[in-house]
Amino acid sequence: MKRIGYIDALRGLTMILVVFSHLYIPNRTIINQLFINFRMPLFFFISGLISMRIDQEWNGGELRRRLGSKARTLLLPILIFGTLYSFARGFSFDEFIFHERKLGYWFTLVLFEMLTIYYTLRYTLSRRADTSHLGRAVVILFILAVALSFLWSERWTEAPLPTLFSFSCLLRFLPFFTFGLMAGYYRKRFDRLVDYWSVYLDAIVLFGVLSWARMTWDGGIDVVLCLLVGFAGIVMMYGTFRRLHNHLETTTLIGRSMQYVGRHTLEVYVIHYFLLIGFGAMLQPYVAASAFPLSPAVIGLPLAVAIAVASLGIGWLLCRSKFIAYYALGKR
């Protein structure tokens, strides 16, 4: 799928919200709890959406080429930067590898696993000329992913092997990735649906109600609630950015900046953790002492933007070395 400005801008905003969530450790502010409800589901949805290319030809060579390419661009960066970060934080390599969330570096590992599932599906269907088989297969994959998501909090996911592959995160977020695949396959229908004001406004109301329910829920994490609020948040944010696409795809500074962040999320993702070492402990007392309820957002969001910009600057400097750019930051 060719790059679309508002989708890149939406991914850029999501990356900034990821940085914001890491400013305060732990970040239990109401604003962050609201962002959590759609932030990572939206990230995986976009990843699925832009991965869907209906007319692309598939064979054994294409499967090997794509998996090799994704291993270099998704696995090598987190292995290199994650190892360096774990040493900087005083953790051993084993503690990093067998940490369920890889000290924060779990996202691209799980994305690689999701893409592996999708690429394998495409290869399996590659001999069928009728592309409608792909649509049905993606729908079945989505239903299966939703069913499996009810297992992500089970105790067996804490065993060494599932932990090595961040399996609980895979099960938790696979429904949103497959939702993105479906939206990509039925793109015109999905966009038409989201463009209806009734659907868009219903998604906003549903997201608000479910977010309130999730923050006040005393029964632990409910999978159905997490799924519904994630899907509602995706439709809400995607619909918002579609309605703002004229502003986001022009030469406005905000639009261009958000698109740039969206096209360079890997640099921000792997580098920003280093800039936050000790930062949360220093910042949190000032935020906690403020009587203004929105102070975490007022202070944190501009700081998140600044840290994202600094990460991009460091990434740009590192990319002066073609070797580092190719092997550590996934550049072509």
pLDDT in tens, 2-31: 567 889 999 999 999 999 888 865 556 677
Whether residue 198 has pLDDT greater than 60: yes
Average pLDDT, the chain: 88
Based on the domain organization, do 168 and 293 belong to the same domain?
no
Which position has the token pair 């088989």? Answer: 133
HEC assignment per residue over the chain: CCCCHHHHHHHHHHHHHHHHHCCCCCCCCHHHHHHHCCHHHHHHHHHHHHHCCCCCCCCHHHHHHHHHHHHHHHHHHHHHHHHHHHHHCCCCHHHHHCCCCHHHCCHHHHHHHHHHHHHHHHHHCCCCCCCHHHHHHHHHHHHHHHHHHHHCCCHHHHCHHHHHCCHHHHHHHHHHHHHHHHHHHCHHHHHHHHHCHHHHHHHHHHHHHHHHHHHHCCCCCCHHHHHHHHHHHHHHHHHHHHHCHHHHCCCCHHHHHHHHHHHCHHHHHHHHHHHCCCHHHHHHHHHHHCCCCCHHHHHHHHHHHHHHHHHHHHHHHHCCCHHHHHHCCCCC
In a domain, 328, yes or no: yes
In a domain, 165, yes or no: yes
State the pLDDT confidence band at 34, using cuts at 50, 70 and 90: confident
> Which of 125-129, 133-137, 185-189, 223-227 shows the lowest per-residue confidence on average (mean pLDDT)?
125-129
Q: Which residue has the higher pLDDT, 304 or 251?
A: 304
What pLDDT shows up at residue 262?
93
Instruction: With both helix axes pointing from N to C terminus, report the angle between 223-243 and 187-195 in degrees, rounded to the nearest 10.
Output: 80
What pLDDT shows up at residue 116?
96
Based on the domain organization, do 313 and 167 belong to the same domain?
no
pLDDT in tens, 110-142: 999 999 999 999 998 887 655 568 889 999 999
Based on the domain organization, do 322 and 216 belong to the same domain?
no
- Provide the domain count of the chain: 2
Based on the domain organization, do 31 and 59 belong to the same domain?
no
Based on the domain organization, do 212 and 275 belong to the same domain?
no
Q: Which residue has the higher pLDDT, 145 or 57?
A: 145
What pLDDT shows up at residue 23?
81
> Which of 6-10, 36-40, 57-61, 245-249 shows the lowest per-residue confidence on average (mean pLDDT)?
245-249
Instruction: Quote the pTM value.
Output: 0.92
In a domain, 228, yes or no: no
pLDDT in tens, 230-241: 999 999 999 999
In a domain, 314, yes or no: yes
Q: What is the mean pLDDT of residues 244-250?
A: 74
Report the alpha-carbon distance of residue 300 to residue 303 in Å, rounded. Answer: 5
Domain span including residue 111: 43-222
Based on the domain organization, do 64 and 196 belong to the same domain?
yes
What pLDDT shows up at residue 120?
92
Instruction: With both helix axes pointing from N to C terminus, report the angle between 167-185 and 132-148 in degrees, rounded to the nearest 10.
Output: 150
What pLDDT shows up at residue 28?
62
Which position has the token pair 């936050």? Answer: 276
Based on the domain organization, do 26 and 47 belong to the same domain?
no
What pLDDT shows up at residue 172?
94
Based on the domain organization, do 141 and 217 belong to the same domain?
yes
CB 156 within 8 A of CB 21: no
What pLDDT shows up at residue 200?
96
Based on the domain organization, do 279 and 324 belong to the same domain?
yes
What pLDDT shows up at residue 47?
96
Based on the domain organization, do 187 and 97 belong to the same domain?
yes
In a domain, 287, yes or no: yes
CB 169 within 8 A of CB 106: yes
Based on the domain organization, do 102 and 184 belong to the same domain?
yes
pLDDT in tens, 252-303: 788 888 899 999 999 999 999 999 887 766 766 666 555 566 777 777 888 8
What pLDDT shows up at residue 125?
87
